[in-house]
């Protein structure tokens, strides 16, 4: 699909819009960004499953925790029930299930590695046995290794492989795809607040440096996805700026994941505090991401998001066809 017709150049002297043909005059940096933006994103082969990034995909959020901010306690100590929930997400149109055994909400209690493994491995095994693609949402190298051995295909780390010093080696040796999320304090809980002068530029720079470090350690750049970290150590204004600047992250040359489902910014903007009453806002943010070319939407409400994307594709394809 075509996502861009022009670039917006941002520098200390202000903003201006240039046609694509004009970018040849912008120098080596612009040429690099142009190459990253326009290059097709290579598909991910994960065992028998392949993810193609020519259309936005949906990842269903499945937590087996007692304290996750949205669905904590629903599937804890119930591998069969959690598996059934994951199968339901796939049947509703999810491309994969993103499984977590430790809450990353502000103030959540830390979970011992062994307990986290005990929570997630039985679910990974059941889902993988049925042919599902599972990503494991964890910061711990031991959990990553156990989940991959049980059949998971992707690592999704909110600390971008910084929280656990062993994590980078696990991912590099496994050769699996990895999602690197921005966090202002990846060695902490991920929610330390920072005052940003230019949140889009600073998050972009942080992710670019992290990609370079991960690639230098032996991870294939084509197996890396980035997540700007909506809601992690960012104010409402920061989150809005990131949503409006999502397209800029294509300049990193990696697929983009957006995890904004049921986040606090929806309640702040809509005046709705209840987490389970944020479906409309979650879909609005998902469609905003799709319009910006985000390749993977991490959501709680799979069926509703998939339906919204089908309509979005329909009117978009018809508009492009004239």
Q: How far is CA 175 from CA 8, 51, 123, 222, 322, in A?
A: 35, 16, 22, 11, 43
| Six-digit token string for 256 | 């983009």
Q: Which of the following is catalytic: 264, 298, 310, 316?
A: 298
Q: Which of the following is catalytic: 41, 210, 263, 278?
A: 263
The residue among 48, 106, 39 whose CA lies nearest residue 250 is 39
CA distance 138 to 167: 10
Geometric angle at alpha carbon 63, from 62 and 64, rounded to 5°: 125
Active site residue 262: no
SS3 sequence, 61-123?
EEECCCCCCCCCCCCCCCHHHHHHHHHHHHHCCCCEEEEECCCCCCCCCCCCHHHHHHHHHHH
Active site residue 234: no
Provide the CA 110 distance to its chain's centre, in angstroms: 22
Active site residues: 263, 298
């Amino acid at each position: 699909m075509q996502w861009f017709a022009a670039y917006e150049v941002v520098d200390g002297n202000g903003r201006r819009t240039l046609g694509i043909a004009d970018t040849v005059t912008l120098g080596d940096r612009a040429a690099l960004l142009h190459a990253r933006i326009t290059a097709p994103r290579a598909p991910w082969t994960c065992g028998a499953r392949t993810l193609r990034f020519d259309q936005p995909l949906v990842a269903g959020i499945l937590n087996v925790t007692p304290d996750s901010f949205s669905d904590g306690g629903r599937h804890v100590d119930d591998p069969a029930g959690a598996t059934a929930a994951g199968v339901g997400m796939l049947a509703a149109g999810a491309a994969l299930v993103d499984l977590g055994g430790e809450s990353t909400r502000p103030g959540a209690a830390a979970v011992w590695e062994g307990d986290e493994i005990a929570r997630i491995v039985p679910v990974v095994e059941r889902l993988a046995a049925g042919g599902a693609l599972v990503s494991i949402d964890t910061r711990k190298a031991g959990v990553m290794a156990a989940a991959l051995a049980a059949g998971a295909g992707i690592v999704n780390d909110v600390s971008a492989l910084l929280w656990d010093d062993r994590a980078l080696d696990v991912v590099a040796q496994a050769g699996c795809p990895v999602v690197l999320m921005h966090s202002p304090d990846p060695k902490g809980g991920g929610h330390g607040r920072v005052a940003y002068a230019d949140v889009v530029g600073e998050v972009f720079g942080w992710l670019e440096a992290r990609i370079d470090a991960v690639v230098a350690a032996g991870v294939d750049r084509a197996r890396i996805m980035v997540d700007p970290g909506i809601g992690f150590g960012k104010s409402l204004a920061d989150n809005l700026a990131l949503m409006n600047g999502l397209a800029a992250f294509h300049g990193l040359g990696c697929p983009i994941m957006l995890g904004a489902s049921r986040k606090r910014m929806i309640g702040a903007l809509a005046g709705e505090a209840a987490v389970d009453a944020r479906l409309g806002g979650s879909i609005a943010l998902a469609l905003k991401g799709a319009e910006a070319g985000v390749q993977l939407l991490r959501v709680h409400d799979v069926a509703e998001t998939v339906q919204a994307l089908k309509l979005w594709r329909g009117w978009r394809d018809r508009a492009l066809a004239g």
